[in-house]
Amino acid sequence: MSWLSKKIDEIKEEARFRAWNRGFDWAAGALLRDEETPMSIDSYASGNDKDRFDMGAYAACKQLIELGIIENDLS
């Protein structure tokens, strides 16, 4: 693998990581401010193309439920 290919792969991975973080931050903030519910986050993440943003949003929801910070309304 050439130097350029490695650099391109690093840039792509960094972009995927930033997208996941944006999804996590958005969902965590919205859930903590009571602007969204776990059900609405789940519906949003399930209905879209399941990109890194959606996966980050779902991870935030799951983690806040596991920590007992928010109630689970997913049935």
Q: DSSP class of residue 69? A: S
pLDDT at res. 48: 63
Distances (CA, A) of 75 to 30, 47, 69: 20, 17, 18
How does pLDDT run along the chain (75 residues), one tens digit per residue? 799 999 999 999 999 999 999 999 999 999 999 999 999 888 888 876 778 999 999 999 999 999 999 988 765
How high is the pLDDT of residue 73?
Answer: 79
Angle ∠(19,25,31) on CA atoms, nearest 5: 135
- Can you give the pTM of this predicted structure? 0.83
